[in-house]
Amino acid sequence: NAGVTQTPKFQVLKTGQSMTLQCAQDMNHNSMYWYRQDPGMGLRLIYYSASEGTTDKGEVPNGYNVSRLNKREFSLRLESAAPSQTSVYFCASSGPGQGSTEQFFGPGTRLTVL
C-alpha cells in the first residue's frame, strides 16, 4: 500500500516549457487535490476533484489544468511555465466518501522555473 505517489520528485523548466505532474493513490479514495506550497504561505489549493469525472478550481488555478484520468490518478499540467510557478507541489486524496475528513499527502514535486 503505497498511499499517494507523485512523479517526478524534482523538475527544472525554462520559462514557456510545459510539463505534467503525475499523482496516483491506491486507497480507493474518491477525492483528490493539488496544492502548492510557498514559504510563509502554507498550502494553497490549485484544483480538486471531488469524484471521478469532476474537477473544480481552488484558490490559485491560473496557469494550471488538471485531468482526473480515473479514480486513482489526478494529473496537473503547466502549459507554459512561468517563474512564479516555482514551488513545491503536493497531491492529496481523501475518502472513502465524498468530502470525508483528513487528507493524505504525497511526497511532493519540487519545481523550479528559470
Contact residues toward other proteins (CB under 8 A) are 4, 31, 33, 40-45, 48, 50, 56, 58-59, 90, 92, 99, 101-108
Exposure of 78 in the CB half-sphere (CA atoms within 13 A): 26
Instruction: Report, in Å, the least distance between residue 104 CB and other proteins.
Output: 7
Closest CA to 71 of 89, 53, 56, 58: 53
DSSP helix/strand/coil, 65: strand
Check if the beta carbon of residue 68 is closer than 8 Å to that of residue 52: yes
Instruction: Report, in Å, the least distance between residue 80 CB and other proteins.
Output: 27
> What distance in Å separates the CA atoms of residue 109 and residue 95, rounded to the nearest whole number?
23
Instruction: Report, in Å, the least distance between residue 35 CB and other proteins.
Output: 8
Nearer to other proteins, 85 or 93 (CB): 93
Nearer to other proteins, 17 or 88 (CB): 88
